[in-house]
Every structure is written in structure tokens, then in C-alpha cells.
């Protein structure tokens, strides 16, 4: 099992490009499925019927659960598989990174073309041996095989654009589409750099046709090589999927799929606004997601518009001057409104915004999406924009800090006033309680005084009565004493009177 990878249709690779061309519910013959990463996608997401041919028994066991028929065979030996697969015809025949491992890929391609449906397609991907990184290595006296990549040690056949064209002419297959993936030498496994060579040599290599193509992905059909699509054979910028592009997705939010998207090449570092238009098919529904660029950029959006195909109906129109935060749901994108314009900078190579206030009507027969924007891929431009944004944020932070200080001061005053009011309320409460006590005490004191006066009057009356009683008793005593005195005097006089006699 040489290669075992996973497929992410959001990433640009030979596998994702191939899968994006496979239609739902079709019959597929897949050569070299490895562990079944592409097979699984076609079975579970596209509901395809899949026959697979795999050399490695271990890999075949892994991929078998996703295929309808698994054949373990050496592709170079057609006797091991051709009779079995020839029992039916196929809508798609796939060779994803397989032909370079075969001794005679020309013959294999010619044989399988015989079991292709009349409108079916063969899609294959092969590495480009004329990549500049290999040439630069050769100029330094090196030609080293590696465990994977352009000079994989298991590659026994090498391809350039011209050798591919020769193979297709031999098999008399019509070129329908031709895509590529690109990588600069410094990003490949060779880690080469143009600065390691004389300036003129480096410039010659950098300007060389196909010098950055890492893989060719070619779609062919029956119909004769001479009837190949001229656009597919020309080296057009839009065929270079690593070049900058703008992409529109449609579908339910959270379930956007590469198969429901379309791309448009974009121009970077242009000083004026450019209008980009995308035509979408009919009978689609859900939301629109706009991936503004597949590279880090600084940009300005002026207008977004959704119309009917013939531009007679307008379903949605957005203008930067009326921007509101609720207009879009953004990911990996910084939006910055400024003086009636909306600027943005992408945080990575996958910035996107979803139109919150528009939903596709499935009853319409098609849509035309237009976006007017200006893009700048200059790193210096992005840095300058971010620097200015940081300065504005610093100013905003300063203003917020000052406002916060004022609020803190006001809050402190409010706290003190609240404390004073609380204290006054407490004092008022205590005063009210005191007055209540005094009031209650006054009434009690008044009662006590009245009672005291009553008691004093009673005592005074009792005293007067006692005084009168004492006075009466004293008179009686005095009278009694006077009587006793008189009696004693009479007795003494009588005694002396009788003694003298």
C-alpha cells in the first residue's frame, strides 16, 4: 500500500480535482484505490457503483467494504483483470497517481477505453517530471529518488505535457479537460531556490512553460484525439488551479460541498475595482457562500448582486455604504468598514462570507452572482493595512479607557452619594425612632406626673388629717394634764389643810 491519504475537497489536490468531476449514481472503474479513501467518498457521498482493481492484498481488504467488486491484480498483467471488468461498461474510469507505476500505461489506457460508455470519461493524474525543482537538482548533479513525490522510487514511467499528448494521440482519446496543480521549487520535497543560481538562469527557469506544474490531471473521452478541446490544450491561466481564484458555494449552511461550487480567476494587485460574475444552475437551494480568494489578500468590496440568468430580475443587492454587521457570517476574514467603504483582509487561504439575508429559490432556473471588488495580494499591503487597523484599535482603546475612567469617577461619586443617602436614611430612621420614644415617653411622663400629683394630694390630705388628729389629741392631752395638775394641787392643799388642823 504505497499511498494512504484522506480526501478534502476543499483542498486543491489531484484527488479532489478528480472527484469533483465524478457524477452522482454512476458506474465507476477505479484502478489503484489503495485503502479506499476515494472509493469511500464515491460510495457514501455520490452513491456510485464501484469496481476496483488493486495490487496490494492488504489495501484491497480495506477498500473492499466501499466497493461493489474488488479485484486483486497486477494492472500491468491485463489477463488478471481485463476479462472480469469487461463484463460491463463504465461512466468513469479513474487512474489517480497510477499510470506512472505501470510499465506500459499506453496499452492499459487503450484497453480500458474499449469498456468506456460512449459519453463516459477517463480521468488520470500523473506527476510532471519536467518540474523546475528536478531540473535544478540535475544542474547541481543530483538525481535522487525519494519515498514519495515527483521522483518516487516506485515510479517506472515519467510524464511531461508532451509525453501525455503522445500517449493520448496513440490511444486516440479526445482531451475534454486539462487541469494542473502547481508548486514552486522551494515548496517541494527538493527545497530548491532560484536564488541559488545566476540571476539570468533563475529568471529563465521561472519563466519556463510548465516549470511549476507538479501534477497534470487530464480528462479524456472517446471521439478522436484531433477533436480535443482547444481550450483544454492551451496553457490558460484558469487551468492553473493554484492560481488565485474566487469561489461561490451553494447549499445548506454547514454542509457546503466542493461539488456544489464554481470558481472564477481573480486579478491581484489591481488599483481599480473589478466586477466578477458567476452563473449558477437552476433548481438549487440554500445559502450562498463567497470565498473571496484562495490566497491571503487585502481587499475592498463595493457591491454584491444576485440576479436571474438574463439579468431581468434582481433578487439581492448589497452596497458597502449600507454595511451592517448582520449582513454576513464570516470565517477567516477581518472586515473593516471605513468612510463608506468595506475593506477586508483574509487570515489564511480560505476566507469566506455567507449572505445572511438571501436564500436561493429552488424554483428559479438559474442565478447570476456579481461581486465588485478590488484585491491586493501584496504582503506589504496587508501588513500596512493591519498596522493601520492596529493604530485605529489603539485609538479606540484609548478613547474607551478615557470613557471608562470617566465612568469610574462617576461611579465613585455615585457610590459616595449612595453611601451618604444610606447614612442619611439611617439617621432619619434613628431620629424617627427617637422622636417616637420621646413621644411615647412624654405621654408616660404626663401620666406619671398626674399620678404623682394625685399621690401628693392624697398624701397632703392624709397629712392634714393626721395633723388635725394630732392637734386634737394634743389638746386632749393638755386638757388632761391640766386636769391632773388641778387634781394634784387640790390634793396637796387638802393634805396640808388637814395636817394643820
- pLDDT (0 to 100) of residue 115: 98
Write the DSSP assignment of 332-376 as a string of letters. Answer: SEEEEEETTEEEEEESSS--EEEETT--B-TTSSEEEEEEEEEEE
Please provide the DSSP assignment of 191-235 as one string: ---GGGS-HHHHHHHHTSTTTTEEEEEEEEESS-GGG--HHHHS-
Residue with cell 466501499: 66
- Helix or strand run (H / E) with residue 181: strand 174-182
How far is Cα 160 from Cα 135, in angstroms, rounded to an integer? 13
Contact call for residues 185 and 152 (beta carbons, < 8 A) = no
* C-alpha grid cell, residue 94: 479513474
The bridge status of strand 116-127 relative to strand 341-346 is unpaired
List the chain residues with pLDDT less than 70: 1-11, 234-243, 269, 378-390, 405-414, 416-417, 420, 423-424, 427-428, 430-431, 433-435, 437-475, 477, 485, 488-489, 491-501
Strand partners, 220: 122, 175
Q: Determine the topology of domain 1-243 in CATH.
A: Rossmann fold (3.40.50)
Sign of CA dihedral 482, 483, 487, 490: positive
C-alpha cell at 169: 494521440
Q: What is the DSSP letter of 275?
A: E
DSSP-assigned beta bridge partners for residue 259: none
Rounded CA separation 49/43 (Å): 7
Only one residue has cell 387634781, namely: 487
3-state secondary structure 278-297: EEEECCCCEEEEEECCCCCC
pLDDT at 483: 74
38-43 contacts, C-beta under 8 A, 24 or more apart:
38/7, 38/94, 38/96, 39/63, 39/66, 39/67, 40/66, 41/7, 42/66, 43/67
Task: Judge contact between 85 and 115, C-beta under 8 A.
Answer: yes
CA 47 to chain centre: 30
C-alpha cell of 195?
Answer: 536564488
Per-residue pLDDT tens for 58-103?
Answer: 999 999 999 999 999 999 999 999 999 999 999 999 999 999 999 9
Q: Strand 174-182 and strand 116-127: pairing?
A: unpaired
Q: How far is CA 115 from the centre of its chain?
A: 46
Look up residue 6 and give its three cell numbers: 484522506
The residue to which cell 479607557 is assigned: 401
Contacts of 122 (CB under 8 A, 6+ apart): 92, 93, 94, 95, 109, 112, 113, 116, 173, 219, 220, 221
> For 44, phi and psi rounded to 5 degrees?
-85, -35
Q: At what angle do helices 199-206 and 132-139 cross, to 10 degrees?
A: 150
pLDDT confidence of residue 429: 74
The whole-angstrom separation of Cα 170 and Cα 448 is 135
d(CA 376, CA 350) in angstroms, rounded, equals 16
Buried b (16+ CB within 10 A) or exposed e, 84-95: ebeeeebbbbbb
If one counts every other C-beta atom within 10 angstroms of the C-beta of residue 102, the result is: 20
Residue 183 to residue 172: CA distance in whole angstroms: 30
Q: Count CB atoms within 10 A of the CB of residue 313.
A: 12
> What stretch(es) of the chain map to CATH 3.40.50.150?
1-243
Amino acid at each position: 500500500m504505497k499511498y494512504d491519504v484522506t480526501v478534502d475537497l476543499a483542498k486543491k489536490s489531484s484527488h479532489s480535482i478528480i472527484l469533483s468531476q465524478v457524477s452522482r449514481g454512476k458506474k465507476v472503474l477505479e484502478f489503484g484505490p489503495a485503502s479506499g479513501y476515494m472509493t469511500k467518498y464515491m460510495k457514501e457521498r455520490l452513491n456510485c457503483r464501484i469496481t476496483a482493481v488493486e495490487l496490494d492484498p492488504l489495501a484491497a481488504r480495506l477498500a473492499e467494504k466501499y466497493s461493489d467488486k474488488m479485484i486483486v491484480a497486477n494492472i500491468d498483467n491485463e489477463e488478471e483483470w481485463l476479462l472480469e471488468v469487461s463484463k460491463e461498461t463504465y461512466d468513469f474510469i479513474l487512474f489517480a497517481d497510477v499510470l506512472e507505476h505501470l510499465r506500459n500505461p499506453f496499452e492499459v489506457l487503450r484497453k480500458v477505453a474499449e469498456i468506456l460508455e460512449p459519453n463516459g470519461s477517463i480521468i488520470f493524474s500523473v506527476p510532471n517530471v519536467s518540474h523546475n525543482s528536478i531540473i535544478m537538482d540535475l544542474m547541481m548533479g543530483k538525481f535522487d529518488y525519494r519515498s514519495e513525490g515527483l521522483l518516487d522510487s516506485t515510479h517506472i514511467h515519467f510524464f511531461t505535457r508532451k509525453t501525455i499528448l503522445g500517449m493520448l494521440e496513440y490511444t486516440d482519446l479526445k482531451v475534454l479537460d486539462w487541469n494542473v496543480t502547481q508548486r514552486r521549487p522551494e515548496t517541494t520535497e527538493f527545497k530548491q531556490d532560484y536564488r541559488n543560481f545566476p540571476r539570468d538562469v533563475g529568471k529563465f527557469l521561472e519563466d519556463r512553460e510548465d516549470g511549476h506544474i507538479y501534477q497534470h490531471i487530464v480528462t479524456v473521452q472517446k471521439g478522436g484525439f484531433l477533436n480535443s478541446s482547444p481550450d483544454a490544450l492551451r496553457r490558460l491561466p484558469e487551468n492553473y488551479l493554484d492560481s488565485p481564484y474566487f469561489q461561490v458555494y451553494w447549499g445548506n449552511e454547514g454542509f457546503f460541498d466542493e461539488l456544489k461550487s464554481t470558481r472564477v480567476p481573480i486579478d491581484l494587485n489591481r488599483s481599480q475595482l473589478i466586477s466578477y460574475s458567476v452563473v449558477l444552475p437552476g433548481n438549487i437551494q440554500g445559502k450562498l457562500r463567497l470565498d473571496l480568494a484562495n490566497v491571503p489578500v487585502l481587499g475592498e468590496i463595493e457591491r454584491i448582486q444576485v440576479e436571474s440568468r438574463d439579468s431581468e430580475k434582481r433578487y439581492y443587492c448589497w452596497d458597502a455604504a449600507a454595511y451592517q454587521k448582520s449582513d454576513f457570517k464570516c470565517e477567516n476574514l477581518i472586515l473593516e468598514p471605513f468612510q463608506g467603504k468595506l475593506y477586508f483582509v483574509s487570515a489564511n487561504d480560505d476566507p469566506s462570507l455567507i449572505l445572511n439575508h438571501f436564500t436561493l429559490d429552488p424554483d428559479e432556473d438559474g442565478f447570476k452572482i456579481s461581486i465588485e471588488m478590488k484585491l491586493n495580494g501584496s504582503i506589504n499591503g496587508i501588513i500596512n493595512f493591519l498596522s493601520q487597523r492596529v493604530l485605529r484599535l489603539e485609538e479606540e482603546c484609548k478613547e474607551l479607557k478615557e470613557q471608562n475612567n470617566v465612568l469610574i469617577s462617576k461611579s465613585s461619586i455615585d457610590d459616595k452619594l449612595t453611601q451618604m443617602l444610606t447614612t442619611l436614611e439611617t439617621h432619619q430612621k434613628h431620629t424617627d425612632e427617637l422622636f417616637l420614644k420621646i413621644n411615647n415617653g412624654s405621654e408616660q411622663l404626663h401620666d406619671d406626673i398626674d399620678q404623682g400629683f394625685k399621690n401628693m394630694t392624697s398624701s397632703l390630705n392624709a397629712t392634714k388629717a393626721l395633723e388635725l388628729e394630732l392637734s386634737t389629741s394634743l389638746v386632749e392631752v393638755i386638757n388632761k394634764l391640766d386636769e391632773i395638775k388641778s387634781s394634784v394641787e387640790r390634793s396637796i392643799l387638802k393634805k396640808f389643810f388637814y395636817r394643820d388642823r
